[in-house]
Amino acid sequence: MTTKSSPSETTGLRKTTAAPKRRRAAAEPMAVVNELTDLIERASENTLTPNPLIGLRPADFAEAAQSLLKLATVSPGATVGSLARYAKTLSQVVQGRSELAPDPKDRRFADPAWQGNFAYKRLMQNYLLTHSEMNSLIAHSKLGDREKGQAQFLTALVTDALAPSNWLAGNPAAVRKIVDTGGSSVVSGLKNLVHDMRHNHMMPMQVDSTPFKIGENMATSPGQVIYRCETFELIQYTPTTPQVYQRPLVMVPPQVNKFYAVDLAPEKSLVKWTVDSGVQMFMVSWRNPTAEHRDWGVEHYAMALDAAVDVARQITGSPDVNMWGSCSGGMTLAAYLGWLAALGDRKVANVSWAVCVLDGARAMNDTTLGLFNSPAAVRAARARSRSKGVVEGSEMASMFAWLRPNDLIWNYWVNNYLLGNKPPAFDILAWNADTTRLPARFHSDLLDIMEKNPYVRPGAMAVRGVPIDLSKVDIGAYVIGGITDHITPWKSCYGTARLFGKESTFVLANAGHLQSLINPPGAPKAFFSTAPSRQADPDDWARTAVRHEGSWWPHWRAWMQARSGDQIAAPTKPGSRVNAPLCAAPGDYVRQK
């Protein structure tokens, strides 16, 4: 990819040798999914999308601290009033006359001792009072919006860390367990702490991944790797219907995660659902890059997609394909489609976009790290990845964890260290912990997208020297967003649908970033809304959209089947003479660490 200030660069693709075959095994019951939906969604908030800034610098924390210290200067009256109110309410807490209570959804204070024990109740109320009064003071101050956001971020970091539930003597469940276990819970907690310091970058483990094996009880949909180059493997899944639609689907996962989120287990596998729908399906499985691949950028990945599309066309005999792009994979796909449109090539007919935002500036403005977006921060992020050659997956996971510390750090701190428990064993969390790296060039391109917003500015990006203009892309579009998605907010996803015309179908699922995709029929309380993207304002769209009960998967199936051409006899063998099978799915690249 090139922008007006970035040189174009291309890397070749080559076919390589086969990898060992794997076997399929049993999957996990759907009941567990339903029980742990909230846990999954919170713990997997770092999935499917890279934030180009990657992390915060000491200067960013200093800026946030400066914003916090300005409170007394810009709002002296409010500060004095807040202190007086704090002192009065604190007196009520000490005397036992306070009615302060935690949010019913706040699991930190779910133990009955927080209400029934004199000392614990006052400790909790003092914490709640301090937290709420600081937030109220910041919210009603005369600070600017950016300064308010920075001050609230820093305040939340400090107050969340100081919550009494995070400390051994201040957590009634931990104290009770010490007594019940004769102190062995403390020993177990110390062992967990030492393990995480040595093996998990000093972060508490979120999952026990040992029960899960790729190709055995995860990523088990049958198929064959029928193409491999240095950048990706292409999997062709085995048909399960006697007839299939001629036009195949090529799925493009994000580079920041491994593809098997959509193939965790048969009962919640979008891959299986698609194949059972009679669709010929191909999956791109990206290689996990190392420093030697530092020059792989958006352009390189876009050209990799061209190779994948040509292989799928050659094997199926179809002149064109349908595609699917998730998050950063969708961003790569958009660059590829813009390049095809500029060349007048119509080898892609329809595209499904999953939790994908193509308005980079808007997406950054909607995130916490957007509060610290500045030229200096961008330069520092670019220099950091350039010096290493890659951005480590652990860096991205750590950064996102500190943006949601109660859910992604302190929750596991209490479970692992204070209670001495193992982290939960759950497949989605195991997938989430199976991180990947990003090449420095790709990271740099993401920074360019954040700064220059090229997908909505014709000619601001070039692929192989060809300026792209997404308004020239003529495809059918199906775009999925999640109501509670804080990573790719649904209103920004709606903007993706608008880029491809007023007749694009937009679907809004009642879930967050990951759960909006892992949404099989039968999920309790599931619903979605859908309508063409004819309204310019997403709120106007929401008022006119039609609500449907259940999963959006059957709706998408009907949309896909109507756009997949004629039905033909299912192929009896995978691949072709030109692209013969190399190994069994899920392949070799997905296992790379």
Query: SS3 for 276?
Result: helix
Beta carbons of 28 and 430 less than 8 angstroms apart: no
Instruction: Name residue, tokens 């329809």.
Output: 350
Vertex 83 angle, CA 82 and 86, to 5° = 85
168: exposed, middle or buried (Cβ count in 10 Å: 0-12, 13-18, 19+):
middle
> Does residue 102 have a cis peptide bond before it, meaning omega lies within 30 degrees of 0?
no
- C-alpha 345/C-alpha 341 separation (Å) is 6
- C-alpha 396/C-alpha 393 separation (Å) is 5
CA quadruple 245, 248, 252, 258: dihedral sign? positive
Beta carbons of 201 and 394 less than 8 angstroms apart: yes
Vertex 351 angle, CA 350 and 356, to 5° = 160
Instruction: Count the neighbouring beta carbons within 10 Å of the beta carbon of residue 566.
Output: 8
Residues 6+ apart with CB under 8 A from 526: 509, 510, 511, 519, 549, 550, 551
Instruction: Name residue, tokens 């193409």.
Output: 227
| Position 300, amino acid | H
The 3-class SS string of 50-119 reads: CCCCCCCCHHHHHHHHHHHHCHHHHCHHHHHHHHHHHHHHHHHHHHCCCCCCCCCCCHHHCCCHHHHCHH
Pairing type for strands 321-326 and 348-354 reads parallel
- C-alpha 409/C-alpha 82 separation (Å) is 30
- C-alpha 448/C-alpha 465 separation (Å) is 16
- C-alpha 227/C-alpha 588 separation (Å) is 12
Beta carbons of 329 and 254 less than 8 angstroms apart: yes
What six digits make up the tokens of 310? 């040509």
Instruction: Count the neighbouring beta carbons within 10 Å of the beta carbon of residue 41.
Output: 23
Q: Hey, which residues does 218 pair with through a beta bridge?
A: 214
- C-alpha 347/C-alpha 227 separation (Å) is 19
Residues 6+ apart with CB under 8 A from 501: 477, 533
Active site residue 356: no
Q: Which residue in 327, 356, 493, 583 is the catalytic one?
A: 327
Instruction: Name residue, tokens 């106007």.
Output: 540
Instruction: Name residue, tokens 């990947």.
Output: 436
- C-alpha 49/C-alpha 53 separation (Å) is 12
Q: Provide φ and ψ at 195, rounded to 5°.
A: -60, -45
> What does 477-510 look like in DSSP terms, one character per residue?
EEEEEETT-SSS-HHHHHHHHHHT-TT-EEEEES
84: exposed, middle or buried (Cβ count in 10 Å: 0-12, 13-18, 19+):
exposed
Beta carbons of 586 and 235 less than 8 angstroms apart: yes
| Catalytic (active-site) positions | 327
